[in-house]
Amino acid sequence: LEMPMEGGGEQGRWEEERLKTASLSFGAKKEREKGLKAEREKYQLILEEDEIINFVSSAVIMKGTQDETEQEQAALSQAEVQKQSIQEVRRSLPVFPYREDLLLAIQQHQILVIEGETGSGKTTQIPQFLMESGYNDGGMKIGCTQPRRVAAMSVAARVAQEVGVKLGNEVGYSIRFEDCTSERTVLKYMTDGIGLCLKVVVVIIDEAHERTLHTDILFGLIKDIARFRPDLKVLVASATLDTERFSCFFDDAPVFRIPGRRFPVDIFYTKAPEADYLEACVVSVLQIHVTQPPGDCLVFLTGQEEIETCCELLQERCRRLGSKISELLVLPIYANLPSDMQAKIFSPTPPGSRKVVVATNIAETSLTIDGIIYVIDPGFCKQKSYNARTGMESLIVTPCSRASANQRAGRAGRVAAGKCFRLYTAWAFKHEMEESTVPEIQRTNLGNVVLLLKSLGINDLIHFDFMDPPPHETLVLQDIKYLLCFSLNISIFLYLSRYKCSEEVLTIAAMLSVNNSIFYRPKDKVVHADNARQNFVVPGGDHMVLLNVYTQWLESGYSTQWCYENFIQFRSMKRARDVREQLEGLMDRIEVEVCSSGGDIVPIRKAVTAGYFYHTARLSKGGYKTVKHQQTVYVHPNSSLFEEQPRWLIYHELVFTTKEFMRQVFDQGELLLSCHCCHLPLLFKVFRPLDFFHILFSTALF
Ligand code: CDP
Ligand code: MG
């Protein structure tokens, strides 16, 4: 292993730069510096108090162990110790000294923007402050919105522990298709379905800086709601990024700044660009492990695949080095990781070893892992982007923004002075990276935005108060398209009643809604996982495979064990089951009978074709051509039809990764034309003639 990093400025691979605190380059510097000074004084006070608590808790331990005969009492003291140390941690968080000021500000203003360094306690502490000061009296509730499901779950678990209640009782979470709350729930962390009933007294829009689509829409909604609910308190919590914008949007709402406790972070850049950032990550982790003092390490990669590869490489190289190095605990974290594995990243590192967490940008601001001293940042993230012409949504690995890079670096300076290793050059940082990340609303399929707003009952899209409004014409166009699509869906339902296969199609629709996370494929059991997947393959294509998976799961009695044995993600299946139930309810409402095709594929084929005829692709010279745009696309390697290559396909979605891929494809079986003929009278019934011709022409099928 080359390179001692300490002072290796000249000869080494790295170029060093000591970054003042990264966040200082944004926003009002002077003010913050003033704040920092005042805050330092306050900290000293707190630290002293901490010592007293430490002392007290060790006394309790003494008492507990001395008196061995009375085990019960020992257990009691243990709980007491744990509770005390939790209080200790709470008191040590940067937000703690500002408790009273913050509560006062909340009392005085209806809308308040709260800015604070990641890990300062915004998400876990502020809701507790509110509870402690009685905001929830009289059955009122506090809601805190989160952009990420993993964060909502893990934060709720943490807060339940701090408050000393069982998760799901007073403190709970609600994420899409998974509700862990009860009648008693006072504080709820949630990812969607804000459920802003009259009982909600405070709503916290957390991680506002992420500017996800949902957050942006929430801004518009809440601003409106707040106008006619003067009793509702709105807190907009954000990392130290661009908070002026939020304040401005909410009619100059005041900004409450929690000065961060930040230790200096030394930033190292590579002198030359790295050809393979994954390999560079692995090498850097090992270098840190052998040359640097104790402290945990955090690596930012873009997705599950990369993370698993990186973890595997690290483990393998550690095995080879054997006892020459001390123990290195390698822990992945990404959204699809089973929850028990997710929890592992928070467990403390045993003495003498080092923990390395390999994460997606979920660890950038949503999750704080204590003990991180070293950060490795290759400078990439996965971003959704949308091409309006082709209707293709793609997830592409792109350079992250400077703001992101600085947030990442900041993770190294929470508990002590830290180091951040950037696997790119200082020049690239200055000249190749964007200043900040473009809000999701500006790079997404606006059709989804329209759908979301409509589903919330908002019909006047043009006057909706967006923080960054999408282009006017596109919005209008999408609005019209939405109306068309809606009628089309109804026609599908009518179709179902005609072809008597609604059981199957409901299942397929539900499975498609979670399709990308059904199969679990851990790197170390790839062969087993692929075999298991292969066993589900049936003729007809991926839709039929999904149907098969669901049917077998149903026959197993919705068993968790079954999922485990077959490398199926239980959580996703549970979600599919929920979606299915909701769809069934919808069928019931429009009085369509639910019945099964009894194993016959033809009616299913007709229904899917009818619903998705505008997603048809035809085999042509090695690939496929979409009928709508004559665009060249390919069957995704994961598909069950990858080798078969039938003449006509219906695809569920197009994604761009290395090529334009069709994901979830269905063998059309030459049905297209006959199907269209049956469909014709139906289409006439549902659409006005003009719309109808519009559809026909736009699909260019006739
Ligand atoms: O929201 P903000 O980034 O300001 O901080 P936070 O999420 O409230 O985190 C405050 C503290 O709680 C940090 O020290 C975290 O390490 C800790 N925490 C934890 O130990 N386990 C969790 N699941 C969440 C937070
Ligand atoms: Mg937070």
Q: Complex ipTM, two decimals?
A: 0.98
CB 685 within 8 A of CB 673: no
pLDDT higher than threshold 90 for residue 52: no
Compute the distance from residue 318 Cα to the ligand 1 centre, in Å: 30
Ligand nearest to the CA of 411: 1
Compute the distance from residue 84 Cα to the ligand 1 centre, in Å: 17
Ligand 1 atom nearest to 118, measured from its CA = 3
- Predicted pLDDT at 484: 52
- Predicted pLDDT at 388: 64
The residue whose C-alpha atom lies closest to atom 8 belonging to ligand 1 is 121
- Predicted pLDDT at 15: 67
* Gyration radius from the chain CA atoms: 28
Listed ranges 299-308, 479-488, 589-598; the one with the highest mean pLDDT: 299-308
- Predicted pLDDT at 356: 96
- Ligand 1 binding pocket, CB closer than 6 Å: 93, 116, 118-125, 154-155, 158, 346, 368, 370
pLDDT higher than threshold 80 for residue 262: no
Alpha helices in 67-109 (DSSP H): 71-92, 99-108
Ligand 1 atom nearest to 95, measured from its CA = 4
pLDDT grade, residue 287 (50/70/90)?
very high
Backbone angles phi, psi at 67, to 5 degrees: -90, 75
Which of 482-507 are b and which e, b meaning 16 or more Cβ less than 10 Å from the residue's Cβ?
Answer: bebeebbeebbbbbbbebbbbbbbbb
Closest among 518, 506, 527, 521 to 549, alpha carbons compared: 518
pLDDT higher than threshold 60 for residue 56: no
Backbone angles phi, psi at 145, to 5 degrees: -90, 140
pLDDT tens track for 650-684: 888 888 878 889 988 988 776 544 444 444 444 44
β-strands 14-19, 265-270 pairing: antiparallel
Span 104-128, average pLDDT: 94
- Higher-scoring residue by pLDDT: 609, 641: 641
Compute the distance from residue 18 Cα to the ligand 1 centre, in Å: 26
pLDDT higher than threshold 50 for residue 533: yes
Compute the distance from residue 149 Cα to the ligand 2 centre, in Å: 13
Compute the distance from residue 423 Cα to the ligand 1 centre, in Å: 27
- Predicted pLDDT at 20: 37
Question: 281 CB contacts (<8 Å, ≥6 apart)?
Answer: 299, 301, 310, 376, 378, 423
pLDDT higher than threshold 70 for residue 334: yes
Q: Which helix (H) or strand (E) holds 236?
A: strand 233-238
- Higher-scoring residue by pLDDT: 473, 96: 96
Ligand 1 atom nearest to 207, measured from its CA = 1
pLDDT higher than threshold 50 for residue 475: yes
Percent of the chain predicted with pLDDT > 70: 75
Question: 695 CB contacts (<8 Å, ≥6 apart)?
Answer: 484, 614, 683, 687
pLDDT tens track for 135-184: 989 889 999 999 888 889 889 999 999 999 999 999 999 887 678 999 89
Ligand nearest to the CA of 333: 1
- Predicted pLDDT at 312: 94
Span 428-436, average pLDDT: 92
pLDDT tens track for 201-256: 999 999 999 998 888 888 998 898 899 889 999 999 998 777 899 999 999 999 99
Q: Any idea what DSSP says for residue 519?
A: B
Backbone angles phi, psi at 53, to 5 degrees: -60, -40
pLDDT grade, residue 64 (50/70/90)?
very low
Q: Which residue has the tokens 């698993």?
A: 308
- Predicted pLDDT at 279: 93
CA–CA distances in Å: residue 136 to residues 11, 184, 199, 237, 275:
60, 11, 9, 20, 55
- Predicted pLDDT at 328: 94
CB 311 within 8 A of CB 355: no
CB 61 within 8 A of CB 77: yes
- Predicted pLDDT at 655: 84
Closest among 236, 91, 206 to 144, alpha carbons compared: 206
- Predicted pLDDT at 292: 92
Compute the distance from residue 516 Cα to the ligand 2 centre, in Å: 27
HSE value, Cβ hemisphere, 13 Å, CA-based, for 139? 5
Compute the distance from residue 386 Cα to the ligand 2 centre, in Å: 28
Q: What rounded mean pLDDT belongs to the chain?
A: 79
- Predicted pLDDT at 626: 83
Pocket residue to mutate for ligand 1, from 368, 370, 407, most atoms within 8 A of Cβ: 368
Ligand 1 atom nearest to 370, measured from its CA = 16
Ligand 1 atom nearest to 414, measured from its CA = 14
Closest among 154, 184, 155 to 168, alpha carbons compared: 184
Region of poorest pLDDT, from 294-303, 371-380, 507-516 = 507-516
